Structure 1
Amino acid sequence: MSLTITVSDLRQFEYCQRIVFFSYCLGLSRRRPTTYKMEEGDLLYENVAELEAQRSLQSYGLQEGERHFNVRLRSGKLGLSGLLDMLIITSKEAIPVEFKSSFSAVVGTNYKAQLAAYALLIEEQNGVSVNRSFIHFIPARQSIEVKLEQSHKKAVLLNLDKIRRMIERENMPDATVVRGRCTACEFRNFCPDV
């Protein structure tokens, strides 16, 4: 596999396939516009690791565990890489945790895809099965458990293939049917029909 796809690409592909198309086929990722929402998210992330290290693991339903922040994961076999916000390792399991700056504590399919991708990377790298994960919504100070089924992991593998075919053929996919997502999209100006 020559092209390495990122976990962020998989998350974006689930949200709107055109974002990945514009990034790879038009080379817009190198000059990607920054939105207000992106800047606000960066500000929230600055101190979250420091604050998280001081919290107990109780919000994750754990009594013990070791936290690792900004964990780089890569699989040559899958052609996939990513930077996980936090990985909790216990004597029984490995649990990926993603921090989100969204004020709405809703776990969308794009977040599930992201967590399932991290699960695949952790399973390959650490040789453990990953069956659950968490999203920690920073503004709400709420951690939501996300169960990871085999169907989520299979969907990641299917989407990796779809992304590679889309890039190879340079076929622009349809815009998302959820047009509300287009309002604050950094690629809105590149969509001819939105």
Structure 2
Amino acid sequence: MIKLRVTDVKQYVYCPRIIYFTYVCPVEKRVTRKMAYGKEEHLELDRLEKRRNFKRFGLDHGKRVFHQYLRSERLGLEGRLDMHVIANGEYFPVEFKHTVKGPSLNHKYQLVSYAMLLEDFYNKPVRYGFLYLIPEKKPYPIEINTNARIFVKECLDKIRDIIVGEKMPRPNRFKGCCKDCEYRNFCGDVN
């Protein structure tokens, strides 16, 4: 089984072509201003988050675990989670995102992927996670349900199909995604 990263799920949902340009026809990607800024924001948020309470997450108390490396042989998936909270015998993945557009689908399924990895790591179900939007300083609770888990597994299968088949997928139907894409210059059929 081809081992994949959680970020592959996020990228696949954003645009399947990113998988093609990452694995099949690797190209030097352009680091966007947004990507560089997001990395800086993550470092500052890590520092601040250690001092904050858990009320924003709807919890009285808990333990934070930062940058836990997780992998699942069953899923053929690995990744490093920004943070997870352990409280009352439950596990809550938290992904920090620098976006002003609200939680997006690719971020949601990245979080679901991490929840599935946490389930395998702790051998306990994960019911909720949080997308923490840095500009708003606000966590958005995301339910981790059966349909979301099924969708992630289907994405993993489709990603592996792209890699094995070595065929470029169709472009994203939402052309707004192309505007900030680091691979935009390599797609000959989008403006």
For Structure 1 versus Structure 2, the TM-score category normalised by the shorter chain is: over 0.9
Q: Deviations over 1:89-144 (max 9, x none)?
A: 1133100000001122x222111211111111111110110010001111111111
Deviations 1:148-169 (A, max 9, x none): 1110001111111111011100
Instruction: Please state how far the C-alpha of 1:191 moved relative to its aligned partner.
Output: 0.2
Provide the residue aligned with 1:8 in structure 2.
7
1:27-176 superposed matches below 5 A:
27-28=26-27, 31-104=28-101, 106-176=102-172
Please, what TM-score do these two structures have when normalized by structure 1?
0.95
- Runs of at least 5 residues in structure 2 that lack an aligned partner in the other structure: none
Residue by residue over 1:43-95, the C-alpha shift from the partner in whole angstroms, topping out at 9 and shown as x without a partner, is 21121111011111000000011000011101122110011000101133100
CA distance in 2, matches of 1:9, 1:34: 17
Report how many residues are paired.
Answer: 190
Write the letter of the residue equivalent to 1:155: F
Whether contact under 8 Å (2:132, 2:138) holds in the other structure is yes
Asked if the contact 1:112/1:152 (under 8 Å) is kept, the reply is no
| Poorly superposed stretches of 4+, deviation over 3 Å | none
Contact between 1:136 and 1:144, CA under 8 Å: does it hold in 2? yes
| Structure 1 residue 20: Cα displacement | 1.1
User: CA separation in 2, counterparts of 1:41 and 1:27?
Assistant: 23
Matches of 1:97 and 1:141, distance apart in 2: 13
Supply the distance in 1 between the matched residues of 2:167 and 2:136 (Cα, whole angstroms). Answer: 39
Q: Secondary structure at the match of 1:55?
A: coil
TM-score by length of 2: 0.97
Does 61-70 or 106-115 show the bigger shift?
A: 106-115
In structure 1, the gaps of 5 or more residues are none
Calculate percent identity across the aligned residue pairs. 37
Q: Secondary structure at the match of 2:120?
A: helix
Q: What letter is aligned with 2:99?
A: S
Name the SS for the 1:54 alignment partner: coil
What amino acid is the match of 1:164? Answer: R
